[in-house]
Structure 1
């Protein structure tokens, strides 16, 4: 998979007056280099319609497109991959369905889950939530940056830090060894989506340059 720095997940509740495609296009223009559609409330038909539109958008900008949970929809729109949680379909079964060329990401909250994801053939893991977050109703307790220390020392596949990451605390995450950041509300709920993404990219890049 292509490497990335800023992973943005949809969160339409944070921009009720703006369309998801408009907001995600601004994010991509600001530097988001991987996009995920996450919709756990609407019907399959509604999610499929959004997925088709976002697939068209991401192809326009050559940005990988990931679908959360809905493997059937990901295949229907030829998304680049899927993202699974700990309670979703087992990784090996998902791989059998989507094939070896699709990206599979796995959410992890402790090091044993990260180890299992890596051993099972995940392409990347989500590590978090680092801080308290209101972006997800099914969120677990914060794992703090100490979990990132464990991931950095043990895991060799790409990982993305997620959960409550804002402009004011992203430096703490980057200083813990994360050079890939995932955000939802801080970006999609911003009045200046493009500018907020640019600021995240700058803060991530400052640490990358130091390394």
Structure 2
């Protein structure tokens, strides 16, 4: 997926500390309804299987809205849920190595 300026108008990074009674999946859909144009799933402490399950659920929603969805730091989750990309920091995996793993279209 190629990202254009319009996709970057309201870039949302998830944070479960603000969920309250809602699930993260419901919160993401609410943010999309409110005008978010890009979702980054950030999970630092969630076990792998839970992270993957959540990523797959959110990917269904972002696909329905035809909006980009990236995973923070976890290339394996990004690949397994078919995310549109993965966000890696400068201290994380080399960007070229990530690109080789996820493909040129991500």
User: Same fold by TM-score, threshold 0.5 exceeded?
Assistant: yes
* Superposition pairs of residues 16-95 of structure 1, within 5 angstroms: 16-95=20-99
Hey, what's the Cα distance between the residues in 2 that align with 1:82 and 1:63?
A: 14
Matches within 5 A, 1:113-132: none
Structure 2 length normalisation: TM-score?
0.91
How far apart in 1 are the matches of 2:92 and 2:57? 25
Q: Aligned equivalents of 1:92 and 1:52: distance in 2?
A: 25
- State the partner residue of 1:178: none
Tell me by how many angstroms 1:71 deviates. Answer: 0.5
Larger relative contact order (C-alpha < 8 A, sep ≥ 6)?
2
Unaligned runs of 5+ in 1: 103-211
TM-score (norm 1): 0.47
- Separation (CA, whole Å) in 1 of partners of 2:54 and 2:14: 11
* TM superposition outliers: structure 1 runs of 4+ over 2 Å: none
Q: Tell me, which stretches of 5 or more residues in structure 2 are unaligned?
A: none
- CA RMSD in angstroms, aligned pairs only: 0.9
Distance 1:83 1:15 in 2: 22
Distance 2:20 2:75 in 1: 26
- Structure showing greater radius of gyration is 1
Counterpart CA distance in 2 for 1:50 and 1:16 is: 17
Q: How many residues align?
A: 102
